[in-house]
Amino acid sequence: MPDNPLDMTGRTVIVTGATMGLGRVIAIRFLEHGADVVVCARREPDAPVTAAGREAVFVVADVRDPEQIAAVVDEAVDRTGRIDVLVNNAGGAPPADTATVSPRFNEKVIALNLLAPLTFAQAVHPVMSTQEGGGVIINISSVSSIRPAPASAAYGAAKAGLDSLTRTLAHEWGPSIRVLSVMVGLLRTEQAHLYYGDEAGIDAVGRTLASGRLGDPDEIAGVVLFCASPLASYISGASVPVHGGGEVPSYLLATTGEVAEFRPGSKP
């Protein structure tokens, strides 16, 4: 074990969908710890991804396109000769009524949230499987993979598939490559208001969690860094839940109507 197992100096990290939101925060966390970071997205960020006086390399890429994925991998290898960590972060989907949503919409959601991580993992496999030290693939999953996801049927199904893929690849590609997923819960991001409304709505949703609040992307980034480090060397094929303890059981809300009635000390 190195003196500082969180030191990523000399390691190359790819983070997909890293121009905003959680992906950007993850990329910044790796930069802060010395990694050479390559980020990709369909559109160039408004501002470079920087931290600690260092800047991530940006590559324009739609992760649903295998040729564009290959270009990101080639850029990383050309710069440093290796790929140590892949964070499959790109994903998401707008809400849509399952009864009426088009098949094309579902195809796009599944392509982004399931097929793209698989294709990206395949693209880094030849590098990780042959280099000294192997590699780590971290898939960003969601609590929607383990609970109902009304108005997000394709998204929830894709994330469930991603967790299944994680377990399978861990067995196929281990021990040289560790594969795991980080199962993300409800977060306060710059787009939180689109889902939860104003501050009162965001606070109300947060009170349904055991933590009493929504998570912060920085808290997820810390877990991703840990999972990529030697501290997590025996974690593979696992889906690590980072969801603030999860949501209140629905039967309690149905019988009490208020979180404060069954959680001492909670704020109304």
Please list the active-site residues.
Answer: 155
Residue reference for tokens 């010395």: 34
* Distance, CA of 260 to CA of 267 (rounded, Å): 6
Report how far apart the first and last C-alpha atoms of the chain are (Å, whole number): 46
* Lookup result for tokens 């939101």: 21
The Cα 242–Cα 239 span in angstroms is: 9
**Which 8-state DSSP code applies to residue 46?**
S
DSSP-H helix ranges across the chain: 21-32, 66-80, 103-110, 116-128, 153-173, 192-196, 199-206, 217-228, 250-256
- CA R_g for the chain: 19
**Cβ proximity of 140 and 182 under 8 Å:** yes
